[in-house]
Copies of this chain bind each other. A is one copy, B any other.
Amino acid sequence: MKKKPKFIQNNVNENQESEKKKKILTSAIKIIGDKGYQNATIAEIAKDAGIGDATIYEYFKSKEDLLLAIPVEITKELIPLINDHMMGIKGALNKLRKFIWWWLNYVEKNPGYGSIVLLELKTSKTYVFNEAYQAARNFYKIVLDIIKEGQEEGSIKKEINIFLARSICVGAIEHIIIRWLLKDRKYSLTQYADELADLLINSLKKNEPNISNKHL
């Protein structure tokens, strides 16, 4: 651990994310994702991270601050990841299908993260004013961009309000995920990806008259 320049906050070195901070976050995701924010105790998170309770407060202002730091951290890693997966896919509707699949798949493999973002986070009164909210917005923005792209390339109806379209896509995906999180999580989430994508794409895409009418 190296020394930082003279005048520093009263807090721990913030840049280059000390390993300890990462370890706390990892333990927090594990414990909170598993038992929920309510039932997770600072003592247990500290124990899992192999440090004393008080040390957590060197890195996070409060338990709530720790909760809010989770999506900020993870989303930072997530957005490049999904963008990477999106590369080489042509056409907004194909991208939308891929995005749906990717998201369901990610939550299925990381239910703790899904549980925190979709269930725990929104009860925090300060959520909207925190950068956690910005992180979520950046994530949703991917869907919005896909819809815009589709309207530009002519595959998605121009008359649709893009924000409403995003609400339908994001709302449907989240609703399916939330049901899964609340249930036993035994069945596969990704199995819904294709059918859901079909339905959403069908409601957004511009009908091609020459094709859809050839049977008349």
Give residues in A with beta carbon < 8 Å to B. Answer: 35-39, 119-120, 122-125, 127-128, 133, 160-161, 164-165, 167-168, 170-176, 178-179, 182-183, 192, 195-196, 199-200, 202-204, 207, 209, 212-213, 216
Q: Which residues of B contact A178 (CB under 8 A)?
A: 122
A168-B168, A199-B203 in contact; A123/B120 too (CB < 8 A)? yes
Are B167 and A175 closer than 8 Å at their CB atoms?
Answer: yes
Assembled-state Cα–Cα distance A165/B127 (Å): 30
Q: Which residues of B contact A170 (CB under 8 A)?
A: 175
Copy tally for this chain in the complex stands at: 2
Closest 5 CB pairs of A and B: A203-B203, A171-B175, A171-B171, A171-B172, A168-B172
Most buried by B among A125, A171, A213: A171
Across the interface, A202 reaches (CB within 8 A) one of B173, B182, B203, namely: B203
Are B213 and A165 closer than 8 Å at their CB atoms?
Answer: no
Q: Which residues of B contact A35 (CB under 8 A)?
A: 125
Across the interface, A123 reaches (CB within 8 A) one of B37, B168, B171, namely: B37
Task: Output the least CB separation between A192 and chain B (Å).
Answer: 7
Across the interface, A199 reaches (CB within 8 A) one of B120, B164, B202, namely: B164
What are 25 A-B pairs at a CB distance below 8 A? A36-B124, A38-B124, A38-B125, A119-B122, A122-B178, A127-B182, A133-B182, A160-B199, A161-B195, A161-B199, A164-B195, A164-B196, A165-B199, A167-B175, A167-B196, A168-B203, A171-B173, A171-B174, A171-B175, A175-B175, A203-B204, A207-B207, A209-B213, A209-B216, A213-B216
